[in-house]
C-alpha cells in the first residue's frame, strides 16, 4: 500500500511540474490558431517536455525514491565491522573508478541483490540487500559492489534517462500525429479534437510505447555486460564470475519494486524468443560467458 501511495503521489507531483513548465513556455494547445491543423512546434515542445521532463525528474528523485521503496538505510556512521567494510570497499572502488563517494546503504530482503542509482557520478547511491550479505562471501560481495560502482562510473543512469526521454518524445509526438490524422480523415472532424483523436492517440501511444521499450531494454541489457566488465577490471574476473554463479540460484525472481527492477544486479531475464526483447537483464549464462571470453583478469 505504501508503494502504491508513493507511486501515485510522485507521479501527480511530476505531472504538476510539467504542466507548470508548459504554461511558462506558452504551450496551451497543440492545434494551430484556427483550431484545424497541428501546430508542430507546440506539439514538439509538448512531447519533449513530457518525454524528457518525466524521465529526468524521475532521475533527480531516484535516490529518494529508491530509499523509500526499498526501505534502504544509509550507513552514516558504521555500527559494526560489516558496515565499516562495506563503506571502505565502496570508497576504494569509487576512488579507482574516479567518481565521488556514493552513499552506501543496506536494505532488508531475503533475495541476494544490489542496485545503484543517482542523478550523477558524484551524487549516487549503492545499496545491497541483507540476503546478499548473508549468501555471498566477501570476494563475491566486492565484485557486486564493483559492478554497481561501474554503473555509476559509466554514467548508465543518465544515459538511460536520455534514451528514455528521446523515445518518450517520439512516442508522444507520433501518437498525436496519427490521432489527428484519424480524427480528420476517418471521423471527418473539421475542428478541435473529437473522440477519434483521443481513442487513437491512446491506442497508438500504447503500441509505440511497447516498440520503444524494446530500444530502452536493449540498452539496459547491454549496460549489464559493461558493468560486469567494469567489475572485472576493479576486482578481478574470477570474483565477478563467482558472484554471477551464486546469483543463478535465485535468478529471475527479483523482489525489487518494478520501478527499480532494471537497476538491480539480479533482474528479470529470459533466453527464449520474443520475451527476451522485453527483459531488463541478459541471462546469467550469457554474462558469465562474456566474462570468460574476456582477455583480462587478475
| Catalytic positions, written as ranges | 148
CA nearest 264: which of 121, 120, 100, 132?
Answer: 132
Collapsed DSSP state (helix, strand, coil) of residue 127? strand
What Å distances lie between residue 268 and 91, 198, 261, 278, CA to CA? Answer: 29, 34, 7, 9
Q: Which grid cell sits at 110?
A: 531475503
Residues sharing a CB contact under 8 Å with residue 41, sequence separation 6 or more, in sequence order: none
What Å distances lie between residue 129 and 2, 6, 78, 113, 133, CA to CA? Answer: 20, 21, 16, 6, 7
Handedness of CA 253, 255, 261, 266 (dihedral sign): negative
Give the pairing of strands 123-129 and 103-107. Answer: parallel
Distance between alpha carbon 253 and the CA centroid of its chain, in Å? 18
Residues sharing a CB contact under 8 Å with residue 225, sequence separation 6 or more, in sequence order: 282, 287, 290
SS3 content of the chain, % helix, strand, coil (to 5): 65, 10, 25
Distance CA 49, CA 14 (A): 11
Amino acid at each position: 500500500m505504501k508503494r502504491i501511495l508513493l507511486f501515485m503521489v510522485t507521479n501527480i507531483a511530476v505531472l504538476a511540474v510539467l504542466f507548470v513548465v508548459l504554461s511558462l513556455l506558452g504551450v496551451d494547445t497543440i492545434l494551430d490558431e484556427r483550431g484545424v491543423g497541428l501546430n508542430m512546434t507546440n506539439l514538439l515542445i509538448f512531447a519533449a517536455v513530457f518525454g524528457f521532463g518525466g524521465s529526468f525528474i524521475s532521475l533527480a528523485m531516484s535516490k529518494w525514491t529508491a530509499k523509500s521503496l526499498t526501505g534502504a538505510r544509509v550507513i552514516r556512521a558504521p555500527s559494526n565491522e560489516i558496515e565499516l567494510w562495506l563503506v571502505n570497499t565502496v570508497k576504494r572502488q569509487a576512488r579507482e573508478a574516479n567518481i565521488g563517494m556514493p552513499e552506501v546503504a543496506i536494505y532488508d530482503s531475503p533475495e541476494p541483490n544490489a542496485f545503484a542509482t543517482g542523478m550523477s557520478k558524484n551524487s549516487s547511491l549503492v545499496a545491497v540487500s541483507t540476503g546478499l550479505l548473508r549468501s555471498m562471501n566477501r570476494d563475491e560481495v566486492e565484485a557486486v559492489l564493483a559492478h554497481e560502482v561501474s554503473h555509476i562510473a559509466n554514467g548508465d543512469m543518465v544515459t538511460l534517462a536520455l534514451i528514455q526521454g528521446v523515445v518518450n518524445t517520439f512516442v508522444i509526438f507520433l501518437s498525436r500525429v496519427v490521432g489527428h490524422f484519424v480524427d480528420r480523415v476517418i471521423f471527418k472532424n473539421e475542428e478541435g479534437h473529437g473522440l477519434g483523436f483521443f481513442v487513437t492517440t491512446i491506442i497508438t501511444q500504447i503500441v509505440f510505447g511497447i516498440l520503444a521499450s524494446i530500444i530502452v531494454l536493449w540498452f539496459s541489457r547491454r549496460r549489464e555486460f559493461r558493468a560486469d566488465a567494469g567489475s572485472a577490471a576493479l576486482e578481478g574476473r574470477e570474483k565477478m564470475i563467482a558472484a554471477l554463479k551464486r546469483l543463478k540460484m535465485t535468478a529471475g525472481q527479483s523482489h525489487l519494486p518494478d520501478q527499480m527492477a532494471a537497476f538491480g544486479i539480479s533482474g528479470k531475464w529470459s533466453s527464449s524468443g520474443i520475451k527476451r526483447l522485453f527483459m531488463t537483464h541478459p541471462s546469467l549464462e550469457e554474462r558469465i560467458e562474456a566474462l570468460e571470453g574476456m582477455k583480462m583478469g587478475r
